[in-house]
């Protein structure tokens, strides 16, 4: 996929979890289930009562509005660092640099769902990275490659 097409499909800004079921009633609202992981498309919580979310990292997944009171930030499973640099090749992936630290939120086959920390002045991004490119650590101590 070309770089311009990847840039036209921005990645979400945070991972959220649904606190309650919500049945979308209007065309622009999204139906969600309690415990469902969601991707926050834009952080507008200071100016709006509705959050724009989607059901996955990929921009083609269903998206819509849900009340802010029905969602909260998702907690990471563990912290990790990048063993190698990785260039984004698909719309649901995120580019990372060797040594970059991140929070890991889950796995999808051989890929991990991560939120990268800020790196060299660039704000951290969310997306999928290869599992074998990541090493878990706890409280500053390295644990080893993720299984």
Cβ neighbours of residue 120 closer than 8 Å, sequence gap 6 or more: 97
Model pTM above 0.85: no
- The whole-angstrom separation of Cα 11 and Cα 72 is 19
Chain-wide mean pLDDT for the chain? 83
Average pLDDT over residues 94-119: 88
- 116: burial class by Cβ within 10 Å (0-12, 13-18, 19+)? buried
The first and second tokens of residue 19, run together, are 């606190």
Q: What's the pLDDT band for 43 if we cut at 50, 70, 90?
A: confident
- 7: burial class by Cβ within 10 Å (0-12, 13-18, 19+)? exposed
pLDDT exceeds cutoff 90 at 141: no
Q: What is the pLDDT of residue 14?
A: 87
Q: What's the pLDDT band for 4 if we cut at 50, 70, 90?
A: very low
Q: What is the DSSP letter of 29?
A: B
Q: Which residue did the predictor score with more confidence, 5 or 8? A: 8
Cβ neighbours of residue 91 closer than 8 Å, sequence gap 6 or more: 1, 5, 6, 9, 58, 59, 60
Q: What's the pLDDT band for 44 if we cut at 50, 70, 90?
A: confident
95-107: buried (b, 16+ CB within 10 Å) or exposed (e) per residue? Answer: bbeeebbbbbbee
């Amino acid at each position: 996929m070309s770089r311009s097409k990847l840039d036209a499909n921005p990645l979400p800004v945070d991972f959220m979890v649904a606190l309650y079921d919500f049945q979308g009633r209007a065309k622009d609202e999204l139906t969600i289930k309690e415990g469902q992981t969601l991707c926050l498309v834009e952080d507008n919580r200071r100016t709006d009562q509705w959050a724009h979310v989607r059901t996955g990292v990929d921009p083609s997944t269903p998206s819509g509005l849900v009340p802010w009171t029905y969602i909260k930030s998702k907690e990471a499973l563990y912290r990790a660092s990048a063993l190698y640099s990785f260039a984004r090749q698909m719309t649901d992936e995120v580019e990372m640099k060797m040594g970059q630290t991140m929070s890991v939120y889950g796995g999808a086959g051989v890929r991990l769902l991560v939120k990268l920390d800020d790196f060299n002045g660039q704000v951290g991004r969310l997306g999928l990275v290869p599992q074998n490119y990541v090493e878990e650590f706890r409280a500053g101590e390295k644990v080893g490659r993720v299984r």
